[in-house]
A and B are shown apart, each in its own frame.
Chain A
């Protein structure tokens, strides 16, 4: 009884914080002066601009997903299955762009390729003009988001490789070399996981606001923000968000239809047979050089340039004096958000893992749907629902930000919990149940402690995503309660390059430091 009531309450809560704002937002967009009106949507169909936005959004999302998959799959295989030197170092370095806010990566590239960027000093102003033109547009957006989301495909490939039964590969090796095994056995086995990774990259790019806004490439997420913020056209802002919502929904439905019956759920390979390692032999040197070069270009060089731009004590002094409070607020909001996400994700993950309700798949889809939705859309939805005198205790306080985090990022902690629970034998909980322990007691004393590592990992991921959020926070933060990412955005208007670079470096440190400590905890 306790189990069903708690899990039902979790579902109701998820719908109230995630789905209800979207429904209210949509309802408000079709009511003008008390009358039903589809004027905003008529504009959507008749304006030529909407088709340009669709073309831009799809071009950016498809190119990024394709590139990330084509590069991320072999990279994941090389880092997970071969004897390549520095594998752990490379994995950590390639993961950094996923952890820092994408617009910081964009600023790093701007400091490198912009008209007054580092390369202009080497190549001259004409070449710098060309690289700047290239950066400000589709190619630049693809480059930045490719480096940001490459780790999604890479890490998921590495994870799914662990689910492949090594005995199958051993058997395959009897008939041919590793290339044939990879092509004929390993890759087909992890293909559903790879497709899911590509889909995630597609949807995350579709909802991305910061990078296309900074690099001046018009896509739906930016249009929706502009319609709301610059024109205050609520109907048009919602209408601009509808294609995003529709595409996200359709892609998730397709994923469910095509991947539902495939064995893509994360379970470690049975039998405990360790996965065989591919010996690279003579190719080892040039592969390490290739991976090193990719790592340098995508991760090290832009961060080095960002760091070099910030090398001024005065800039750091100004950064701390202007944004010290915002940094501490960011950490506090992220910590509270991550803790709430861990709890919510634990119960949601348990519901999905145990298939507690018949509609467990709908709950899973809802969390993924909200995760891949643009932060701008979630933000506008929150304003529609909570901007009322009677709900000022939410709208006028940081609670509105925390609700936004919970709505958008529960999928992360929920999925991590599902993976953690999959490693715990059901007999553990069953034994406690047989001994007469109630459900909440079993959760608190048996399941949660056994899933401890997964929960810590979930907290860390939740912390990072809350810390780097800009789409939701920018629209809803209460006066005087901004976060560091928002402050970086507002200071960009006429703020010096050194100041912005220093703030970005502080942001990177604030992200990576707790992560490093957390990983140390998990490993030890």
Chain B
């Protein structure tokens, strides 16, 4: 009986200690910044921890899950439009940042650290600013003798039933499709997608799975993000990366930068600006370049790892991200029917 009492008391003290610890960690209002993050937690969290260490400002974050495909945090922002909890949104691509602007959820802020970033990767009114980008590249199995050089390979009979693409309802593949619709117009883009289907293109769950399917030789190539390619190359997988449509008259390669957004009615606006300045610095771009995500810096003069090209060596697709954002919402029904939802 005595033993029982000791055991119960010990358990009670431990649990009470943990509860008290939790209560003591409830952040105050002044030295806090709340950020919703769509970039993978495994890459974004170390950056936010560095910010905490260097500034003493406590970061409270909400991260996306794989299932929400990079849009869960954004949708939480939409749900909280009249009751904002977040100060900053770190989007893993600029289209959702544009949607937030169009829905009146973001506020304008032009960071002094954004001066070195090319204008094409920034909202002209300062509602979002791009940094550290991924490129939409083709991963091709090493054993394929003649490597495809264009996304038109998807409709080429030479690669019938040999190509795979991630589900275009989610993530950067949606952005890619919306960019094509903006660039080519609806009719041509729809015809392209129909031809892709006729040519036996397989739909995978995500870019990671597409890359693995190419690496295992089940398919010859796939359009994925550069970080997926670099990641598998570093694992020794037999793939090569091709920047598509780089030749004369080619549409270029879609560049997908991260985007940082100030939220309208942010509870901690001053700290929010400090965090945005930090994310847009050259130092953060360098860290993200040498992390496993191998993202491409947008500031000139930031060192890049050997597996990826410098931004000025890539022929980028010339698009208006605001137009792509509008198109993205418009083509959802078509994409759903194309996928079979």
Contacts and interface: CB of A to CB of B under 8 A. Distances in A.
A270 B205 CA distance: 57
B341 A331 contact: no
A392 interface: yes
B20 to A, nearest CB: 9
A490 B64 contact: yes
A213 B45 contact: no
B27 interface: yes
B79 interface: yes
A369 interface: no
Contacts of A486: 65
A494 B65 contact: no
A332 interface: yes
A138 interface: no
A361 to B, nearest CB: 35
B41 A490 contact: yes
B42 A230 contact: no
A389 B81 CA distance: 11
Contact of B41 (A225, A230, A493): A493
A123 to B, nearest CB: 15
Given A389-B83, A489-B66, A491-B41, A479 B61 contact: yes
Interface in A383-406: 383, 387-389, 392, 395-398
B64 A514 contact: no
Given A398-B22, A490-B63, 18 more contacts: A49-B341, A125-B216, A129-B216, A229-B67, A229-B72, A230-B67, A231-B71, A328-B21, A479-B36, A479-B86, A480-B58, A490-B41, A490-B65, A491-B41, A494-B42, A495-B42, A521-B4, A524-B4
A110 interface: no
A56 interface: no
A172 interface: no
A267 interface: no
Given A228-B75, A480-B34, A521-B4, A328 B66 contact: no
Contacts of A331: 15, 18
A514 B11 contact: yes
Contacts of B144: none
Interface residues of A, number: 55
A125 B199 CA distance: 27
Interface string B64-89: 11111101101100111011011000
B66 A479 contact: no
Nearest to A396: B85
B79 A383 contact: yes
Interface residues of B, number: 56
A494 B43 contact: yes
A75 to B, nearest CB: 32
Nearest to A328: B18
A493 B42 contact: yes
11 contacts: A49-B341, A225-B67, A229-B68, A232-B78, A332-B19, A387-B80, A477-B62, A479-B60, A480-B34, A481-B60, A490-B64
A517 B11 contact: yes
A222 interface: yes
A322 B21 CA distance: 18
Q: Which secondary structure dominates where chain A touches chain B? A: helix
B220 interface: no
Given A328-B18, A335-B15, A489-B66, A494 B86 contact: no
A388 B83 contact: yes
B179 interface: no
Contact of B170 (A230, A234, A396, A520): A230
B82 A389 contact: yes
A125 B341 CA distance: 32
A336 interface: yes
Interface in A470-524: 474, 477-482, 486-487, 489-495, 499, 514, 517, 520-521, 524
Contacts of A81: none
Contacts of A388: 82-83
Nearest to B169: A230
By Cβ-Cβ distance, the 6 closest A-B pairs, closest first, are A480-B60, A232-B75, A229-B68, A229-B72, A479-B60, A490-B63
A167 interface: no
Nearest to B80: A387
A47 B208 CA distance: 29
Contacts of A492: 65-66
A479 B42 contact: no
A261 B340 CA distance: 47
A493 B67 CA distance: 9
B50 interface: no
A115 interface: yes
B7 interface: yes
B3 interface: yes
Interface of A: 47, 49, 115, 125, 129, 213, 216, 222, 225-226, 228-232, 234, 322, 325, 328-329, 331-332, 335-336, 383, 387-389, 392, 395-398, 474, 477-482, 486-487, 489-495, 499, 514, 517, 520-521, 524
A49 B63 CA distance: 29
B65 A479 contact: no
Contacts of A478: 60, 85
B79 A387 contact: yes
A227 to B, nearest CB: 10
A524 B3 contact: yes
Nearest to A332: B22
B325 interface: no
Given A49-B341, A517-B11, A222 B67 contact: yes
Interface in B100-140: none
B68 A520 contact: no
A322 B78 CA distance: 28
Contacts of A397: 26
B212 interface: yes
A389 B83 CA distance: 5
A479 B67 contact: no
A392 B216 CA distance: 50
Given A387-B80, A494-B40, A474 B65 contact: yes
Interface string B33-67: 01110001111010000000000001111111111
A322 B66 contact: no
B8 interface: yes
B7 A520 contact: yes
B293 interface: yes
Given A230-B170, A387-B83, A395-B83, A493 B66 contact: yes
A331 B7 CA distance: 18
